[in-house]
Structures are given as C-alpha cells and as structure tokens.
Amino acid sequence: EDEPCLRADAARNRARLLDAAARLVAEHGAAGVTMEAVAAAANVGKGTVFRRFGDRTGLLTALLDHSERNFQAAFLGGPPPLGPGSEPAERLRAFGVAYLRRAIEELDLLLAAEGGPDRRFTSPVHRLHHGHLALLLRQAAPDADADLLAHTLLGYLNPPLIHHLV
C-alpha cells in the first residue's frame, strides 16, 4: 500500500517488519527497537531490515509515516481551521496545536527517530512543515521574514524541546 512498486514478497516483509517494530515500541518503548530485535520479531534476517530501511532512524521514520500522512492530509486539504478555508492566523494556531498534540502522543518515537543534525532540517517532512508555515506566514504578515519565522516556530515544536518542557 505505501510502496506499490515493491514485489509482493518485499511488500510482505516490509509490512512484517513494521508490525514487529510497532509491537516492540508498544511493549518496550522506542528504546526497545533495534534492528536485531525487529529482525527476530519478524522472523527475517538482520540484513533484510538494513536493506529495507537503511538504519534505525529510517525504520523509526517509516513507523511515523502513517500518522505523518494523516497530519499532512489534515493541514493540506482537511477541514478548517487546520485545513484550507480559515484565515492564515487561525490556520497557524491550528497547525501548532495539532503538531503539539501529535508530538505528545508520539514523543518517545519522535525522539528516537530524530536524526542527527545533518537530517533534522533536510528531511522531506521538515521541509514540508517549514514550507507550509512560511506560506501561511506570508499570507498573515506579508512584510515579515516568513522563512525565518517558520524556522523559529518549528524550533518551538522540536521534539527534544517538547520533551524538556513536558
């Protein structure tokens, strides 16, 4: 479903690996998710896990993908105030509230999936969130530096900061 171009056996393996990883997160928290543990829980070789996801961060990011897709659908095309149809300032507030709720619900996994500094600001998800905020900020405050403000607002929504504040 997520990757229709995969061979049937590769798609089955991917689903088994993600199910196994989700079970490990539910049972032991994100700290319990190692490539070895996922391979054992899915009854596949460790190399299969590495080939499919690259590394632990890739695996954890794939686990977060479903909720991220739902979040993106809500702010890109869902009902107002998060989706189109409200004033930009209302949408900015709704984005922040929805982002924080999601972050609190998945904080353990978000923290574990947090890539190093080289990944943090270049991931497609971060770039989409930044671009969405910058667009709304340009609409709400045309004379402001929307790019810098978007980075600043996303800084307040950073999972390690949320963890610290909680």
Domain ranges of the chain: 1-54, 55-166
69-79 residue pLDDT tens: 999 999 999 99
Report, as an integer, the average pLDDT of 47-67.
92
How far is residue 10's CA from residue 129's CA, in Å, rounded to a whole number?
Answer: 30
From CA 92, how far away is CA 163, in angstroms rounded? 22
Q: Which residues of 22-44 are buried (b: 16+ CB within 10 A; e: fewer)?
A: bebbeeeebebbbbebbbebbeb
Q: Tokens 């943090």 sit at which residue?
A: 120
Helices (H) and strands (E) in the chain, counts: 10, 0
Region of poorest pLDDT, from 18-27, 53-62, 107-116, 134-143: 107-116
Question: Which two tokens mark 34?
Answer: 């190692």
Percent of the chain whose pLDDT exceeds 90: 75
pLDDT (tens digit per residue) in 114-142: 867 777 788 889 999 999 999 999 999 99
Tokens standing for residue 140: 């709400």
6 pLDDT exceeds 70? no
Contacts of 165 (CB under 8 A, 6+ apart): none
Q: Say if residue 40's pLDDT is above 90.
A: yes
Question: What distance in Å separates the CA atoms of residue 6 and residue 60, rounded to the nearest whole number?
Answer: 20
What are the tens digits of pLDDT across the range 137-155? Answer: 999 999 999 999 999 999 9
Report the top-level CATH class of 1-54. Answer: mainly alpha
Would you say residue 109 has pLDDT above 80? yes
User: What Rg value do the Cα atoms of the chain yield, rounded?
Assistant: 18
